[in-house]
Amino acid sequence: MSKSILRNWFSILHVDYVKLNHHWNYKGIISPYYRLYYIDSGEGSVSDGEQNLKLEPGFIYLIPSFTLCNLNCVSNLGQFFIQFFEESADGISLFQNNRCAMKVPACDSDIKNFKQLLAINPGRGINRSDNPKVYEKNIYYKEYQELNNQTHAAKNLETQGIILQLLSRFLGPETFKNPKESPIPSKILAAMSYVQINLKNNLSVIDLAQRANQHPDYFSRQFLKHTGERPNSFINSKRIERAQYLITTTAMSYAEIAPETGFESLPYFSRMFKKTTGLTPGAYRERINGI
C-alpha cells in the first residue's frame, strides 16, 4: 500500500440525511471542502461544467474541494451527505489531478458506512438551510470544527477510517482520467509538494528545476506531461485555491490575502483571481456570504 495516502487526513464539517425538493437548485457553487452523497430515493443532478451526472438511488457521488458545480433536485431527493475538509502534510490532495464530480454504484458497505458515520457524529446536520450561500460562512465552520475538538479520539479515528473507505471507491483507475499514464515521478511530486508548502514565497520554474537538478525546459515539459499543467499555471492555480479558502474561512482583507498567497500586489491578485474563478475577490466573498 502506498504510504502517501496516509499523509491526508479529514476534518468533518457536516453529516446528515435529508429529504430535498425542487428548492434545492443552486448554481456556481465552489466550496473549500469535499461533498459525498448517497442517494436512496428521488432524482436530481450535479454538473461540473464538463459533465452532468444524474443523482439516482443506488449510487454514491463525490465532489472534490474547489470543484465548480451546480446542484439540482427534480421534485424530491433522499440524500445522505457528508462534507469535510482535507489536509495533508505536503499540501497535495488525493484528487489533485481530478477536480470533477464522480459517480460509482453503491455497495452494501458504502451504505453501512454512511449510516455509521451519521450515528457516531450526531447533531452535525446543517439545520439552517440547504442553500450553500447560507451555511458556507466562517462562523459556521468554526462552530463545527470545535465539535471535532470535543469528540473522543476513538470516534475521530473511526470517522477518518470511514471517510477513507468511501474515498477509496473513487480512487480506482476507471474513475481517473488518463489511467494508462505512468505514475508521477518523485521529482515532480516533490516540486508539487514544495509549491503547496511555499505558496507565499517567491516561486519560479528556474528554482523548481534547480531543486530537481534538471534543465528548466526539460523540467517544464515533464511537469506538463505528468500533471497536465505548466509549472507557472500550477503555482497560480494553487495560490488561487488557497485564496478561496482564506476568503471563505477567515475575515482577512484582500490586502492581507494577496501576500499570504504569494501575489506581489493587490491588483495582480485580483486580476488572477478573476481570470481563474470568473469572479473578483469581492464578488466571490459576497457569493459565499449570501449577499
Structural domain of 162: 3-175
CATH number of the domain enclosing 74: 2.60.120.10
- Report d(CA 290, CA 129) in Å as an integer: 12
Contact indicator for 170, 62 with CB cutoff of 8 Å: yes
Q: Residue 218 domain-assigned?
A: yes
Which band of pLDDT confidence, cut at 50, 70 and 90, is reported for residue 203? Answer: very high
Question: In a 3-state reduction of DSSP, which class is residue 134?
Answer: helix
pLDDT at 290 over 60: no
pLDDT for the residue 39: 97
pLDDT for the residue 155: 87
Indicate whether 157 and 215 sit together in one domain: no
Question: Of all helices (H) and strands (E), which one includes residue 19?
Answer: strand 8-21
- Report d(CA 56, CA 38) in Å as an integer: 9
Dihedral, CA of residue 117, residue 123, residue 124 and residue 125, to nearest 10: 110
Q: Residue 142 domain-assigned?
A: yes
Q: How many domains does the chain have?
A: 2
CATH number of the domain enclosing 252: 1.10.10.60
Q: What is the pTM of this model?
A: 0.67
Which band of pLDDT confidence, cut at 50, 70 and 90, is reported for residue 61? Answer: very high
Indicate whether 128 and 151 sit together in one domain: yes
Q: What pLDDT, in 10s, does the model give residues 86-105?
A: 877 666 677 877 778 999 99
pLDDT at 1 over 60: no
Indicate whether 139 and 271 sit together in one domain: no
Indicate whether 40 and 169 sit together in one domain: yes
Written as one letter, the residue type at 251 is A
Indicate whether 134 and 191 sit together in one domain: no
Lowest mean pLDDT across 49-58, 83-92, 105-114, 222-231: 83-92
Phi, psi of 14 (to 5 degrees): -135, 150
Q: What pLDDT, in 10s, does the model give residues 159-197?
A: 999 999 999 999 876 444 444 445 678 888 788 878 877
